[in-house]
Structure 1
């Protein structure tokens, strides 16, 4: 009779491929009957097999030769290590450019987990040798698949755990600073915040007006979209806007803001006032002043007496800024007088004006 014999690793990991090598002897062997002890069989001479569950199994082999003689049963005990189970959680909310905390919760019934192989789905990977919580930053909003494979000191690998991570866009806080003086009733702030997924309607707001003199009746904060605040001192303030999206993503911005003084002094100089020619533009230099802060607007009437409805508005005035105006060319009379009026503002209610008659030849 033939003698059945085989070799195989007696310790291996769940789902790893195990090779069984026939070592039987005797006359020419024609058939091999394998039983792997887990309900599966094979008739190959040197089969491979994957055990899908852990535990102890008895693998056996019977061989039959060309004469029809069958061997005695050869057997071997095989232990299959349980593979580790990958598991983790992620913090919320998940926002672009903000750190996400990843907490490992993987377990192993046999052996100690010694390696964590992370694939973040954004083109980056990381191999760790500790299960301490750590952070990852997704630079752009989108849907990502975060994967984890763990490995034990026995060499066993977990199945790949995949978790979908939805990374939301950050809001972009922005607002328009009011141009106000200390005498204005309120400073009104206008929100211009945006977000790439166009869900601005879901925003919540927190304003800080930077006003140390604020009180319960005139609070320093607001949750309105376009709030108003009364400042009581002409000074420079730092205003902060914090915006939270519908998905809980938070961003803020700060801007310097000046509450101007209440006493603008309108003034201007006409260049070459005694030699103004009808065919040349008249040049006017702004020499207006203010007790504190900046002028917010200059309005120039070049012919106030005859055309009080025609004027030029400058919303960005500056000291010594020049304004040019070409009057209609005339042949008679020899000279024409025009009334120039300048109004200067440091806020909605703080205004001063100067009037001067000029003569063109």
Structure 2
């Protein structure tokens, strides 16, 4: 047995090295209140404080003939508090349109940290920020907190989901029969739309339907009954079912 520095919750195997050649009784006593009568006990130690805990060890051997010897080691074991790793992050519901996360490190009893963001990126910053790819995916984020004085460490892991979003662009004006790229009225969608449920209608100011389609790839070219309509304000209505839930 030699002087030991351990982390809270760790165990030490003690071995009898006395010179007695006959069997007898063995008494181990520790200053944290633990005892054992085994010859070679395995003892585990806890420290709930924020500073190292020194453990005194007393070992007594008594032979069957009544001979007794003992030895005491003062502060023979230093039990260091184990860090607690924990973090939160904002926003709580990241999405493909906002995959920028800020992590708040709430660990205790730690002096250094390593982050693994689950996308082959790491950091040693206490409370880092991180930008994920703009794709819907889950990432396992792991924070490891270290107490370097005894190399104690703890980890905290959570899964972060970058959610898909239905992003679409609806033009507020277009130029029919202009020969430009803006000559049709057509919404632009990202993923997450069931194209088989899509329906778009456009109405004039009298409520008449001037255009209707169930194909999201087809836009309105500004014609009604084979004639271009007058320049005016028209109302659109789009129905669809999203596929993300």
From the superposition, tell whether residues 53 and 136 of structure 1 become closer, same or farther in structure 2 (CA, over 3 Å).
farther
* 1:80 match: 79
Distance 2:202 2:43 in 1: 72
Q: Which structure exhibits the higher relative contact order, with contacts defined as CA atoms closer than 8 Å and separated by 6 or more residues?
A: 2
Cα deviation for residue 43 of structure 1 reads 3.5
From the superposition, tell whether residues 167 and 297 of structure 1 become closer, same or farther in structure 2 (CA, over 3 Å).
closer
Contact 1:190–1:226 (Cα < 8 Å) also in 2:
no
* 2:145 match: 150
Structure 1 or 2, whichever has the larger Rg, is 1
The match for 2:28 among 13, 34, 51 is 34
* 1:24 match: 18
- 1:150-299 pair list within 5 angstroms: 150-175=145-170, 180=176, 191=187, 193=189, 196=192, 296=221
Tell me whether 1:141 sits opposite 2:136 in the alignment. Answer: yes
User: Number of residue pairs matched?
Assistant: 197
Cα deviation for residue 25 of structure 1 reads 2.4
Task: With the length of structure 2 as denominator, give the TM-score of the two structures.
Answer: 0.60
From the superposition, tell whether residues 71 and 29 of structure 1 become closer, same or farther in structure 2 (CA, over 3 Å).
farther
Distance 1:56 1:39 in 2: 13
* 2:95 match: 95
Distance 1:84 1:191 in 2: 53
Q: For 1:113-134, what per-residue CA distance to the aligned partner results, in whole angstroms no more than 9, with x for missing partners?
A: 13x2334456x463x4431423
- 5+ residue gaps, structure 1: 1-6, 199-224, 229-295, 300-312, 314-342, 351-361
From the superposition, tell whether residues 178 and 159 of structure 1 become closer, same or farther in structure 2 (CA, over 3 Å).
same
- 5+ residue gaps, structure 2: 195-199, 204-220, 232-245
Task: With the length of structure 1 as denominator, give the TM-score of the two structures.
Answer: 0.43
> Match of 2:154, SS?
coil
Tell me whether 1:60 sits opposite 2:58 in the alignment. Answer: yes
Q: For 1:144-177, what per-residue CA distance to the aligned partner results, in whole angstroms no more than 9, with x for missing partners?
A: 5432221122133333223343432132324478
Distance 1:227 1:103 in 2: 48
Q: For 1:22-54, what per-residue CA distance to the aligned partner results, in whole angstroms no more than 9, with x for missing partners?
A: 332233344432233333333443333331225
Distance 2:121 2:59 in 1: 45
Distance 2:13 2:141 in 1: 33
Distance 2:201 2:32 in 1: 71
Distance 1:20 1:70 in 2: 19
Q: For 1:216-247, what per-residue CA distance to the aligned partner results, in whole angstroms no more than 9, with x for missing partners?
A: xxxxxxxxx9999xxxxxxxxxxxxxxxxxxx
What RMSD in Å do the two structures reach over aligned CA positions? 4.1
| Structure 1: 4+ residue segments shifted above 6 A | 225-228
Cα deviation for residue 84 of structure 1 reads 2.1
